Amino acid sequence: MSDTSESALTTSESKPPLELSSDHRQIILPPVKHQPPLLKNTPTKKQDTKKKRYRRYLKLQVILWSVFAVGLLSSFLFLIASLTDDWTIMIPPEPYFVSTERKFMLEWRRGLWRDCMLEYYNMTARDPYTVWQCTGRDFFPTSETIEADDETDHYILDYERSIAAFAVITLVISSMPIFFTWYSIKEPRYIFKRLAGGLYFITAGCAIVCIEVFKHFLAYGRRYLPNSLMRLADYERGYSYYLGCIAVGLYILAGIVIFIVSGKKKGSNARSMKEAVENEPVIIGRI
């Protein structure tokens, strides 16, 4: 018993006592919140902005290409309308005798550039026949021709020249908005879209003038030319007239749509980085 106590005493004396230093401080750490690990495919805010901008860019491209197609279609329709001869169809109640050409006429189709008549030959023969005969319009006839023709006077000639002039102007101007619509697809600056929209409206205005002058041309002939077929016959508008009206509506529609999408977009509202750069203000300084 004594040996055991002596060995324990010896062991306790061999170990130095545990002492804390005077500069020891207890550090209390805040509780750690559990956060789910970030996935590699989680989109960031910057990526979301790029996706939205790309969607807006694709939407604008689809709209501009649609306007471009509508512009081509409207110009094609007005070209067909101006080259065909069915603006007005006149049918007299009985065969109409044309004094200048000494023949009878059953039907008269008027266009912008020529007239087509359904002529009746050999009325007294056993086998009469009909023939379609088209003649180009003479915009600058002589005074003798004007006096001998029941369908023409100086005012009628002025109407015909105005109709032809505005038809040509419409076809020439219609190529300009189509070009600027195509150019605005490549260059996103807003000014090109607004220029194309304005030219679409100008083209529609010229086409409207052409159609309205043609309507007044018929009204003048029915009122002031007593021996004219325009007064004696019943008439109806042909498909050429309606094609011209459809072309006018398409021109106006294209102008409205392209004006709607021609807003100036800057910064994060731009549909592409190129559009954002193009729409930034430019400071022009002196050299």
Query: How does DSSP assign 52-120, residue by residue?
Result: HHHHHHHHHHHHHHHHHHHHHHHHHHHHHHHHSS-SEEEE-SSPEEETTTTEEEEEEEE-SSEEEEEEE
Residue 9's pLDDT band (boundaries 50, 70, 90)? very low
Q: What are phi and psi for residue 237, nearest 5 degrees?
A: -80, 140
* CA–CA separation, 124 and 174 (whole Å): 51
Looking at the structure, give the CATH architecture of the domain made up of residues 50-88+152-278.
Up-down Bundle (1.20)
**Mean pLDDT computed over 126-148:** 82
| CA nearest to 98, candidates 107, 89, 88 | 107
A 10 A CB-CB count for 76 gives: 13
Give the model's pLDDT for residue 55: 79
Alpha helices in the chain (DSSP H): 2-14, 45-83, 143-148, 154-186, 190-224, 229-232, 239-260, 273-278
172-196 in b/e form (b: 16+ CB < 10 A) is ebbebbbebbbebbeebbbebbbbb
pTM here is 0.72
The string of pLDDT tens digits covering residues 82-102 is 999 999 998 888 877 766 666
Q: Which two tokens stand for residue 50?
A: 């790029």
Q: What is the mean pLDDT of the chain?
A: 79
Give the model's pLDDT for residue 49: 65
Confidence check: pLDDT of 16 > 70 = no
| CA nearest to 110, candidates 225, 217, 248, 247 | 217
**Mean pLDDT computed over 202-215:** 96
Percentage of the residues of the chain whose pLDDT score is greater than 70: 68
Q: What are phi and psi for residue 112, nearest 5 degrees?
A: -80, -25
On the CB side of 175, how many CA atoms lie within 13 Å of its CA? 5
Q: Are strands 88-91 and 234-237 parallel, antiparallel or unpaired?
A: antiparallel
Measuring CA to CA, how many Å separate 243 from each of 87, 110, 203, 226, 237?
Answer: 9, 15, 15, 30, 11
Residue 205: strand pairing partners:
none
A 10 A CB-CB count for 228 gives: 20
Give the model's pLDDT for residue 285: 53
